[in-house]
Structure 1
């Protein structure tokens, strides 16, 4: 991945449905309502009171509104609460990730190309700040890293990597007296130190950190060789630090590139369940460590971050048996969905999987697992037209490199920390405690008699 490609927003996800004079974007009534956090009827009430100006655009249906005027009214009224969409789901305004049927964007830039060309740290900085910082590296404070390592190491041997990450976050928070500084600079400082502390708290597989292929030890500090810039001396990338926590074999440059790209691709994906949990925590003005803890709690569910483990086990069995057909048949016979297939937000193949599959082509030892993954897709297509998702691509990497089944979940958790921080920074600018839905009570009708001892 190169670091010399300028970033420019893709024109396809531009703001506004129509363009008015001088290219100023105009919004539909529904878009204006969502931006203001009100119902469409309230938008017309604003028009009748002279607070908004509407006009019809030739060839379009309904009224349109100047986006700048809508934003100005939003600032004056302070109405920024999420409102239900037409499907009944909450809708948040966010400037981080846009998902379309066949691709997704980080701050207007094609996320797949960004992760293909730039390191995870550069992708994280882009998500946080909208600025590119070539060659950026993160470093943990010594006391934070030491506390995270001690706490994670104190857990039972059978503890999962997510268990250790949750413990490490809590320990790192306890060492940071500035954790309640929710200013952008304060949050960014926390994020840049927390990510390497999380990785550093994970134990090295086999008890030691093996050397990178080519002779450079991955824990050699600032003199380490980073495959991303042709082997020139740099400080260590997060991908190179994470590798020995996932695999006992040395990291060849092509495999390390796949891992780094996976981290960048998974950094954010709009309002996934764990990100919603993180935003709820941030709405209480919880500090960034608590926000990440909330995200980790939701991520561990088998239908979210842990989904890659099921794909790993299926693919590992298919490679071992030398035939995917009976493995797929076993899943369908048992009434289980075939893991690693389908995504409700994409009509075709998950663009994250597309990038990883292409990079895995350059990893010779991945050939059997990659062939098995493609056979799974082809075999299942006879039953139902599902496409590969990122869990299947992560499984190819983990199976090919002899990683444990939970490796994909670990990659997911470390990577998505950047997205949770970005969403926390957005939520800190909103009205506090706005994410308070009302329950629809379905219990016994009151008043009920007091319970008695029996």
Structure 2
């Protein structure tokens, strides 16, 4: 109760902040980006921000920011961080929420299309209905290569996001995601995305729900370099396909994808003798791929949700039980995806492909959010090279 009273006393909403200062929304965002007003997410609604009433009153009186408190921009810039306002997702109490709805609960029934519509702010209709496949499909050896080719082609075809209204950008996003799934799954009936992928991977109908759950749970995460890359590109006016490409290529080279690859390799290696193989690996390296000591996190919650619905065979169950018992940690979402990929006998990069395809929906959402409703990205480049003119 005391925390709520503190928030009510010190932090105010956007409307009240604008009224007190007598300014427009863009000016308020500019004050925040310059560190003159500190902002924070509203605990009651992560899509909104609250603003420091003391900073606002100080500006009304024509005073400088409080010298006793570091300015947010300087503090973040000094650590190489950026401050981004997002209305898509938030992690609270160890749970991941997509626009206020628990991602784990959504994954029980929702399709990737439904989650994308929710993240993109589409409530009246499913934009994916009636989208036809392109006849000039792209080619590539892997799903990842074809995905990059789709995004690159659309980035060249589409105009800058500054030249499009919000509804046009939403239609573009739906077409981009649809083309990407088509490129991954090949030609066939216009089924749900997870059904198209299941058909391409020759997964039985009764098991296709695992692909659906994996895609939904992979859609978004906390701020990472991929989201920063997307929003920087979209904020600069790139077509949303170009912004998504910036994010996806960043993600493809990240530690997240490296962990996915390591977990997939480990599942194959440990499958024959999970406990003994785990003991030897732990003695040799001090850790096991795909397991973490962190509990109560949204990553662990996603992993648990996927594994409990997977109906894994005994040898795969033994892999993650051995990892948890021998290593003393919990299976990560990367490990859960790796186990699902083996359970469904997907191609070697199946876990990473599932992750990237699901995450693309979220990255497109960040591109839309930044292009249509994004506040300035607060960041600062600090030069640490030689003095100008130095030899």
TM-score scaled to structure 1, two decimals?
0.67
Q: Is 1:100–1:345's contact at 8 Å kept on the other side of the alignment?
A: no
> Match for 1:396 among 312, 336, 339?
339
Match of 2:380 in 1: 437
Give the alignment of 1:275-424 within 5 angstroms: 275-319=227-271, 321-327=272-278, 329-330=280-281, 332-334=283-285, 337-342=287-292, 346-347=296-297, 350-361=300-311, 366-381=313-328, 386-424=329-367
> Match for 1:100 among 77, 92, 99?
92
> Following the alignment from structure 2 to structure 1, what is the Cα–Cα distance between the partners of residues 224 and 295?
11
> Following the alignment from structure 1 to structure 2, what is the Cα–Cα distance between the partners of residues 259 and 136?
21
RMSD, aligned CA: 3.7
Structure 1 window deviating more from structure 2 (305-314 vs 258-267): it is 305-314
CA shift for structure 1 position 83: 7.5
Which structure has greater helix proportion?
A: 2
Q: Is 1:308–1:392's contact at 8 Å kept on the other side of the alignment?
A: yes
Give the alignment of 1:193-272 within 5 angstroms: 193-202=175-184, 219=188, 221=189, 235-245=190-200, 247=201, 249-253=202-206, 255-272=207-224
CA shift for structure 1 position 139: 5.4
CA shift for structure 1 position 105: 0.9
CA shift for structure 1 position 44: 2.6
Report which of the two structures shows the higher radius of gyration computed on alpha carbons: 1
> Match for 1:172 among 154, 161, 164?
154
Structure 1 gaps, min length 5: 1-15, 53-79, 210-218, 222-234, 450-454
> Following the alignment from structure 1 to structure 2, what is the Cα–Cα distance between the partners of residues 48 and 258?
54
SS at match of 2:97: strand
Give the direction of change, closer, same or farther, for the CA distance of 1:429–1:329 in structure 2 (3 Å limit). same
Give the direction of change, closer, same or farther, for the CA distance of 1:374–1:256 in structure 2 (3 Å limit). same
CA shift for structure 1 position 107: 1.2
Give the direction of change, closer, same or farther, for the CA distance of 1:85–1:180 in structure 2 (3 Å limit). closer
1:427-448: CA deviations, max 9, x gaps?
A: 124678745521231x333433
> Following the alignment from structure 1 to structure 2, what is the Cα–Cα distance between the partners of residues 380 and 132?
48
1:191 aligns with 2:177: no
Q: Is 1:332–1:338's contact at 8 Å kept on the other side of the alignment?
A: no
> Match for 1:161 among 130, 138, 143?
143
Q: Is 2:155–2:241's contact at 8 Å kept on the other side of the alignment?
A: yes
Give the direction of change, closer, same or farther, for the CA distance of 1:446–1:177 in structure 2 (3 Å limit). closer
Match of 1:18 in 2: 4
1:397-433: CA deviations, max 9, x gaps?
A: 1112222231111111111112112212221246787
Q: Which has the higher contact order (CA 8 A, sep 6+)?
A: 2
Give the direction of change, closer, same or farther, for the CA distance of 1:288–1:347 in structure 2 (3 Å limit). closer
Give the direction of change, closer, same or farther, for the CA distance of 1:189–1:368 in structure 2 (3 Å limit). same
Structure 2 gaps, min length 5: 18-27, 39-51, 63-71
1:269-305: CA deviations, max 9, x gaps?
A: 1312211111111110111110111011111125123
Give the direction of change, closer, same or farther, for the CA distance of 1:434–1:349 in structure 2 (3 Å limit). closer
